[in-house]
Homo-oligomer: A and B are copies of this chain.
Amino acid sequence: MGTTRLETAPEPKYWHLKTVLSEALESDFAVGEVLPNERELAARFGVARATLRQALEQLELEGRLHRRRGVGTTVAPPRVGVDLDPAQHGWPGASGDAWQTEDCEEAVPPAAVARTLGAEAGRTVHIVHRVRTAHGQAVATELLYVPDASVPGLSGIGAGAGAARGRAVLRELNRLELGGQERAVELGSARAEDARRLDRLPGAPVLVVTTRYLAGGGTAAVAVATYRADTCRLTFGDTGGVSLLAS
């Protein structure tokens, strides 16, 4: 039959809600302002709380809202841009990078990392834990996997752990000549420990940046950095000589 279906698509309630809320956020709320609680909002829009939450979740995913248990829902500030090239393609831990070394352990890396390192499975590596802060807030955690072979000078110092040990590993690593790096960005969900450090709940959406550091024809180290997806925009200062400050 020739029945033309125009706009048959029934828009889900939560989708429509999200749009309405989104517009309200722009016109009626200031950054940092607290929204009415979920039960009241749901009642006001005549939907179940679960439906309202679906809309709020989307807005939080987009970095528009900030929800904290026991506190409430607030309007989020614009995402902060964090540059992935703060050290100009240098080694991690080069002077002036944005990371703070927190800990170091020796352990067996995950299979995927071991594969990238080209190391035998089951072999331990140095794992340096670092945290990156911006505007006084933790925005990323990182695990840097360094095989013994990449830090030969460390063997004389003996085993150990802690931040001091981590800095020693980075120092040794910086002695190598960096042959280049490869990077990948993908979506992930925060592991329990990362979530804790980033002040988020486990499973929170994060941008996972995997960096492979090359030296001497092989992979000298692998970094897996976990950025808060709700508050971060990853930027790549790729200007080819043109100043970022122009315009």
A89 on interface, CB distance cutoff 8 Å: yes
Are A184 and B89 interface neighbours, CB within 8 A?
no
Which chain B residues border A214 with CB–CB below 8 Å? 239-240, 242
Which listed residue (B61, B180, B184, B188) contacts A240, Cβ 8 A?
B180
Copies of this chain assembled into the complex: 2
- A183-223 CB mask vs B (1 if < 8 Å, else 0) is 11111110000000000001101010000001001110000
- The size bracket of the interface on A is 35 or more
Query: Which residues of chain B have C-beta atoms less than 8 A from A238's C-beta?
Result: 89, 180-183
A226 → chain B, closest Cβ, in Å?
A: 13
Determine if A179 is an interface residue (Cβ-Cβ < 8 Å): yes
* A interface, CB within 8 angstroms of B: 12, 15, 18, 58, 61-63, 79, 81, 89, 118, 178-189, 202-203, 205, 207, 214, 217-219, 229-230, 232-242, 244, 246-247
Question: B244 near A62 (CB under 8 angstroms)?
Answer: no
A193 CB → nearest B CB, Å = 12
Residues of B within 8 A of A217 (CB): 242, 246-247
The 6 closest A-B pairs by CB, nearest first: A180-B240, A180-B239, A187-B229, A186-B233, A180-B242, A183-B236
Docked Cα-Cα span, A81 to B212, in Å, equals: 15
Is the pair A15, B240 in contact by a Cβ cutoff of 8 Å? Answer: no
CB neighbours of A61 from chain B (8 A): 187-189, 205
A186: chain B residues within 8 A (beta carbon):
63, 79, 207, 229, 232-234
A118 to B247 CA separation, bound complex (whole angstroms): 8
Q: Are B233 and A203 in contact (CB under 8 A)?
A: no
CB neighbours of A235 from chain B (8 A): 182-184
Interchain CA distance A63-B185 in the complex, whole Å: 13
Distance A241 CA – B239 CA, assembled complex (angstroms): 19
